[in-house]
Amino acid sequence: MRAVVQRVSRSSVSVDGIVVSSISRGLLVFLGVAEDDEEADALYLADKTANLRIFEDNAGKMNLSVSDINGEVMVISQFTLYGDCRKGRRPSFTDVARPPKAEALYKAYISALTDLGLNPRFGVFQAHMDVELVNDGPVTILLDSKKNF
- Return d(Cα 43, Cα 75) in angstroms, integer: 14
Active site residue 6: no
Among 80, 93, 114, 126, the one annotated catalytic:
80
Active site residue 94: no
Q: Confirm if 67 and 117 have CB atoms less than 8 A apart.
A: yes
Among 6, 79, 140, 149, the one annotated catalytic:
79
Among 30, 55, 78, 122, the one annotated catalytic:
78
Active site residue 140: no
Q: What are the distances in angstroms from CA 100 to CA 21, 91, 103, 109, 147?
A: 22, 22, 5, 14, 24
Within 10 angstroms of residue 20's Cβ, the number of other Cβ atoms is 15
Residues labelled as active-site residues:
78-80
